[in-house]
Chains A and B, each alone.
Chain A
Amino acid sequence: MNTTYFKMALQMLKSNPFFSALSITAIAITVMIVLIISMQHEMVMAPGAAEVNLDRTVFLSRGILKDTDTGGQYNSYLGNDMVSHLKKELNTPVAISQWAETEWNFVSVHGVTPSKLIYTDAGYWRINNYNFVSGRPFTQEEVDNGSEVVVIAQSIARKEFANEDALGRSIELLGRPFRIIGVVSDVSSVRRYSHGDLWIPFTLNKQENFADFLGSYKLMLMGESSKDVNAMKQEVQTVIRNFSLSLPEHNELIVPGPDTAFEDYFRSWQNTGEVGFSSSWLQIFLRMLGIMLIPALNLVAINLTWIGERAREIGLRKAFGATRLTLIRQLLAENTLITAIGASVGFVLTIVVAHLFSGLLFRGQWEQAANFVEISVSWLPFLVTIISVFVLSILSGLIPAIRISQTQPAAVLKGGAL
């Protein structure tokens, strides 16, 4: 399609300013809504920031212990015994990490800071790739010894020590002093596996409830590459089955997963427990479709109402020498132009709205010190949206217009000014 059609299309846009503005707005809003919603998911589960290894990591977060005698059922995170058993038995993962998160009101001379305290191990720092502003993560040795060392988020460091170096200073946690050995950049608060404020060795965690099987830990298992994901899934289930054999007759242990980041996210989203995930993508797709429906219908309605108005213009252009093919190309160019402008406006709008209302749109599960959201847009949803909007506007705008271009001009040129 050569440029003259775009010049003609530009003229057509000019000749219908109200319609064009309306269409562009409808497209922009559709694009924005779909993008924001996909961002709400993407920013949580796509690899990025500290979570660079998501695609080769699987996650265990829940165990269910049934007692067939009493009919009782415990549903909780995993306990220390089971975690250490898994750590000992699993061969495929190149790194394993157990971690437990708790809310902690961090008190100092600067006041009370509600924060997220994470008990974890050395593997954690291999799987999550934090940006250390200064210092280092804690070592296996420090974990084994239960050393009172802490890694803190930069926002905490700033609050407590302003511009001074936090390294080597001590803060009070669990009623005793901890030595700061590392400071990491804040991680986006919607991140499920890496967001936190304070990290200490898990060996200091004295909160275990059902200390044997169930407790407060989640597990991350990282393979050599994403090819290991299935092997790790199988191996975990085998180990857990063997582990269950050692339980008393009346106990049954179910550990769903391990899940990929996507599955884990979806499980939390759906609260599906043990259910499989074959329908997840389909469900997300249908959800998107449902969300797009209203702005899309709006777009179709705008196009259809305007057809009556367009009819006279199309007839007039035909009366003065436009061929059917020229009109179709012109209308196609016009549609493309409107979609392109609408999509660009929608994109800019998305970025602006995402930043202005980030607190509202992208909420982490916790309210803590490190409360910022890293905004990122991925291209796939953007592309899919643009293509759907384009197809829609072709169906609702172009096809009726083409039909009109095929009728005799006299039929649409009766009375009235354009």
Chain B
Amino acid sequence: MIQLKEIQKVYRTKTVETIALENVNLEIGRGEFVSVMGPSGCGKSTLLNIIGLLDKPSQGEVSFQDKNTRQLSDKEAARMRNQNIGFIFQSFHLINALNVFDNVSMPLLYSRMTASERKTRTQEVLEMVGLSHRMRHFPAELSGGQSQRVAIARAIAGNPGLLLADEPTGNLDSKNGEDIMEMLEHLNKNHQTTVVMVTHDEQLARQTPRIIRFFDGRQVS
């Protein structure tokens, strides 16, 4: 599903040059559940952003569903993010001034759905994460675990084949972390969603069939 070839990512500021990723070659198949581990600053988020088309590599090729993403137009890239990729962030990134329903239906606004289809789908995914009774609540009124479930609902609203989760449990206690993990496993097993999850938690990582380890911008295993 995803192929990375000789990926390099360099961040340049006026004074320093940081090599965030160096010669990364990686293949992730359809339906896999992969965890990505490594110390802070080793390039995990950068990797996820590049896979998820939120950033471009400095060098190398990214293929998504056998399509080289370098040639994608803005419109095609947007469509791919909208239809095929769902993102979950450590800090949730909900829009505070919008209620749960509007947060979750936001990606659907950019798809070709009618208003009533959007409504149905939003209710459906909120039910899946067990928050249909919190639709009119605002992010400030939710616990961390609930916020991340809203974020998951938003990520899966467009029914994407790939879910990218950047330390999704990093801000949660272990009980809530387990819940989130269960949800991701459920999506992977029952909806054939490919999941790539960055985590610091060895225990969580060990629950996934495949672990990729990074150190200093390089894949070490």
Give chain A's interface residues, CB within 8 Å of chain B: 8, 11, 14-17, 312-313, 316-326, 408-411, 413, 415-418
**Chain A residues whose C-beta falls within 8 Å of the C-beta of B95 in the assembled complex:** 15, 313, 316, 418
Given A321-B107, A408-B54, CB of A413 within 8 Å of CB of B82: no
Set of chain B residues within 8 Å of A410, measured between Cβ atoms: 46, 49, 54-55
With both chains docked as a complex, state the minimum distance between the C-beta of A120 and any C-beta of chain B, in angstroms. 65
- Determine which residue in B46, B79, B95, B96 has the highest number of CB atoms from chain A within 10 A of its CB, and name it: B95
Nearest-neighbour CB distance to chain A for B4, whole angstroms, equals 16
List of B residues within 8 angstroms of A312 by Cβ: 93
Min C-beta distance of B108 to chain A, whole Å: 9
- Closest residue of B by beta carbon distance from A13: B97
Residues of chain B with a CB closer than 8 A to A416's CB: 91
Given contacts A317-B106, A317-B110, A413-B89, contact A418 B82 (CB under 8 A): no
B94 contacts which of A319, A408, A417 (Cβ < 8 Å)?
Answer: A417
Also in contact, A320 and B91, with CB within 8 A (given A325-B75, A410-B54, A413-B54): no
Q: Which residues of B contact A17 (CB under 8 A)?
A: 97
Contacts of B81 in A (CB 8 A): 318-321
> What distance in Å separates the Cβ of A319 from its nearest Cβ neighbour in chain B?
6
Q: What 8 pairs between A and B have smallest CB-CB spacing?
A: A321-B82, A410-B55, A320-B107, A410-B49, A323-B78, A321-B110, A410-B54, A409-B54
Which residues in window 69-121 of B have CB below 8 A to A? Answer: 74-75, 78-79, 81-83, 87, 89-98, 102, 106-107, 109-111
Interface contact A321-B79, CB-CB below 8 Å: yes
Q: How large is the interface on B (under 10, 10 to 19, 20 to 34, 35 or more residues)?
A: 20 to 34
User: Which residue of A15, A324, A326, A411 contacts B97 across the interface (Cβ within 8 Å)?
Assistant: A15
What CA separation (Å) do A8 and B118 show in the bound complex?
14
B44 at interface by CB-CB < 8 Å: no
User: Which residue from B56, B93, B94, B106 sits with its C-beta under 8 Å from A413?
Assistant: B93
Q: Does A11 lie within 8 Å of B110, measured CB to CB?
A: no
Q: In the bound complex, what is the Cα–Cα distance between A312 and B55 (angstroms)?
A: 15
Q: Which residues of B contact A (CB under 8 A)?
A: 46, 49, 52, 54-56, 74-75, 78-79, 81-83, 87, 89-98, 102, 106-107, 109-111, 139, 154, 158
- Whether B110 lies near A320 (C-beta < 8 A) is yes
The answer to whether B110 touches A326, judged by C-beta atoms less than 8 angstroms apart, is yes
Q: Determine the residue in chain A with the shortest Cβ distance to B56.
A: A408
Contact B82 A408 (CB under 8 A): no
Residues from chain B with a CB closer than 8 A to the CB of A14 are 97-98, 102
Report A109 CB to chain B, min CB distance, Å: 68
Please state if B83 and A321 are interface contacts (CB–CB under 8 Å).
Answer: yes
| A316–B79 CB distance below 8 A | no
Interface majority SS (helix, strand, loop, mixed), chain A: helix
For A318, the chain B residues whose CB sits under 8 A away are 78, 81
A415 contacts across to B, CB distance below 8 A:
90-91
Nearest-CB residue, chain B, relative to A313: B95
A14 to B98, CA, bound (A): 7
**B96 contacts which chain A residues (CB < 8 A)?**
417-418
- CB–CB B54/A418 < 8 A: no
Q: Which residues of B contact A411 (CB under 8 A)?
A: 55
Contact A320 B154 (CB under 8 A): yes
Q: Is the CB of A417 within 8 A of B139?
A: yes
Q: Are A322 and B54 in contact (CB under 8 A)?
A: no
> Are A322 and B110 interface neighbours, CB within 8 A?
yes
**Cβ–Cβ contact A418 & B94, under 8 A:** yes
Q: Is A316 a contact partner of B78 (Cβ separation < 8 A)? A: no
Separation of A161 and B43 alpha carbons in the complex (Å): 93
* Interface pair B110/A16, CB less than 8 Å apart: no
Closest to A411 in B: B55
Q: How distant is B97 from chain A, measured CB to nearest CB, in Å?
A: 4
On whether the beta carbons of A322 and B98 are closer than 8 Å, the reply is: no
Q: By the criterion CB–CB under 8 Å, are B93 and A418 in contact?
A: yes
Partner of A316, one of B56, B93, B111: B93
Q: Is the CB of A319 within 8 A of B52?
A: yes
Kindly identify which residue among B46, B56, B78 contacts A321, using a CB–CB cutoff of 8 Å: B78
CB distance from B195 to the nearest CB of A (A): 17
B75, B78, B111, B154: most-surrounded residue (chain A CB, <10 A): B78
Instruction: Determine how close the nearest CB of chain B comes to the CB of A5; give it in whole angstroms.
Output: 10
B153 to chain A, nearest CB (A): 12
Give Cα distance in the complex from A14 to B79, angstroms: 25
A322 touching B93, Cβ below 8 Å: no
Residues on B with C-beta less than 8 A from A317 are 106, 110
CB distance from B135 to the nearest CB of A (A): 15
**Which residues of chain B are near A313, meaning CB under 8 Å?**
95
Q: A322 contacts which chain B residues (CB < 8 A)?
A: 78, 110
